Amino acid sequence: MKLIKGRVWIFDDNVDTDQILPGYAMAEDFSTLSRYAMAGSKIPDFPKLVQQGDIIVAGKNFGCGSSREQAPVALKEATVSLVIASSFARIFRRNAINIGLPVMLADIRDCVSQGDVIEVDIEQGTICLGGQTLAGKALSNNILMTIKAGGLINRVRQELQLKNIN
């Protein structure tokens, strides 16, 4: 898998799904969720400021709160390429992987600044910032296969087609 390179957006601990995607946006079509990504957070203008490939770096318990599947969809639709956090709420992490949004465990929030550009190798678990290499947790082979397929549904479709050919 190629390296993920992007500009850093820093968020605190306990960023809940109401901050990631406010409740008032829940009825929106998936294709318009990007307009509301992180709108309930400390950076309410995030949807207007985010650029393709940007990376969210947060502290502990990112994605806590409700189990709304739309929260990681909003980030992916906003063209966030990766979320790095010290820890994730289990359901958010699984939902992100299932839609093909990479999420990586790494405690780097205090090592980066807003707007830094980092290069991340999710297969190796390394984060490069300038000449410095920071350590994260590499994604498992199973998760990498799901991410590479673009999400769990795409992965299952691919595997079923392969089985039908043989």
Please state, rounded to an integer, the average pLDDT across all residues of the chain: 93
Cβ neighbors of 141 (< 8 A, separation 6 or more) are: none
Give residue 166's pLDDT band: very low, low, confident or very high (50, 70, 90).
very low
17-65 pLDDT, tens digit per residue, is 999 999 999 888 888 999 999 999 999 899 999 999 999 999 999 999 9
Please state, in angstroms and rounded to a whole number, the distance separating the CA atoms of residues 144 and 138.
Answer: 9
Q: Which residue has the tokens 């709420």?
A: 89
120-158 pLDDT, tens digit per residue, is 999 999 999 988 999 999 999 999 999 999 999 999 998
Domain 4-165 superfamily per CATH: Aconitase, domain 4 (3.20.19.10)
- Report which of 142, 144, 139, 69 is spatially closest to residue 99, judged by C-alpha positions: 69
How far, in Å, are 2, 47, 88, 94, 101 from residue 27 at the CA level? 34, 17, 25, 22, 21
Look at the pTM and tell me if it is higher than 0.85. Answer: yes
Give residue 162's pLDDT band: very low, low, confident or very high (50, 70, 90).
low
